[in-house]
Each structure stands twice: as C-alpha cells, then as structure tokens.
C-alpha cells in the first residue's frame, strides 16, 4: 500500500514538472522586437518626395491622408509579404503581398514592417478631378535595417 502511494505521488510530481515545461530565469536573454510608429503625411500638392524613412523591424508606418482626394500606396519592387499586428486599409493580394486600399480624404492606413529591406513605394491619387499636370505621384523609400 505504501509503495503504491509512493508511486502515485512520484507520478503526479513528474506530471506536474512535465506539464509546466522548462523553467527560465529572469536573466535568460530573449530577442525582443521593439515596436515603433512613424507617421507620413499625404498632401495633394506637397508631399515628402525622395525621402528615405529608416527604421528597424517592428516599425508601423502610418500614412495620414491630408489631401482632398483619395490616395493609394503602391509598392514598386520589394513587396511586403509579412507584417505584424493588423494592417489598416491594406489587404493581401492574390500574389500574397500587401496592397493598400483606397485611403479616403482624412483617412489613414498603417502597415507594420517585419522584414529587412528597402521598400520603394509611390503614393498616387486614386480618383482625381484635377488636371494631370497639377497632381504628382510621390515616390518614397522605407528602409528597414
């Protein structure tokens, strides 16, 4: 009877240790991604052109449309295929890359970059009633180091 009780206790203790998993001390180092946010203003006639926004993985870029017309963000070469959190006004295309929805006047869109690389993109009017020569497309680069 005592032997059976001892086996039961040992089995329960082993089960507790096994289910709990390995213990880590507070001094164990883990790699942590720092989440930062950068805001980019979109204006109809004045936009930060030929700018390079430098940051690290985990950066959320937030585009705010201050123009009077809807805008789109189009990535040119390197596509964003992996992002953290929930992108706003972006969707995954059939090709598996993120593309922006139309960003309405006064609206915003955001996308978190996890992969290193240079992401060239352009901001273009989605719909415009202005003459073509008055509305420019703006080219910018996000460099995730």
**pLDDT, tens digit, for every residue of 59-111?**
999 999 998 889 999 999 899 998 887 899 999 999 899 999 999 999 999 99
Average pLDDT, the chain: 79
With a cut of 50, say whether residue 17 has pLDDT above it. no
The pLDDT assigned to 25 comes to 44
Q: Are 102 and 72 in contact (CB under 8 A)?
A: yes
Over the Cα atoms of the chain, what is R_g?
A: 25
The pLDDT assigned to 130 comes to 67
Give the separation between CA 15 and CA 9, rounded to whole angstroms: 10
With a cut of 70, say whether residue 116 has pLDDT above it. yes
- Residue of 111, 108, 115 whose CA lies nearest to 143: 115
Region for 68 from its dihedrals, namely left if φ exceeds 0, alpha if ψ lies in -120 to 50, beta otherwise: alpha
Half-sphere exposure at residue 73, Cβ-oriented, CA atoms within 13 angstroms:
33
pTM: predicted TM-score of the whole model, two decimal places: 0.69
Q: Are 67 and 90 in contact (CB under 8 A)?
A: no
The pLDDT assigned to 43 comes to 80
Pick 25 or 131 by higher pLDDT: 131
Domains and their CATH numbers in the chain:
36-144 (2.60.40.420)
């Amino acid at each position: 009877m005592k032997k059976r009780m001892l086996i039961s206790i040992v089995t329960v203790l082993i089960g507790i240790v096994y289910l709990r998993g390995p213990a880590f001390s507070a001094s164990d180092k883990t790699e942590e991604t720092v989440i930062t946010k950068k805001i980019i203003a979109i204006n109809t006639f004045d936009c930060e052109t030929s700018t390079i926004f430098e940051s690290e993985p985990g950066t959320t870029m937030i585009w705010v449309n201050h123009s009077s017309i809807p805008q789109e963000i189009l990535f040119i070469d390197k596509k964003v295929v992996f992002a953290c959190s929930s992108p706003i006004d972006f969707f995954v295309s059939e090709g598996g890359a993120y593309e922006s929805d139309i960003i309405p006047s006064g609206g915003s869109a955001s996308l978190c970059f996890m992969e290193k690389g240079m992401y060239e993109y352009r901001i273009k009017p989605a719909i415009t009633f202005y003459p073509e020569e008055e509305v420019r497309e703006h080219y910018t680069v996000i460099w995730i180091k």
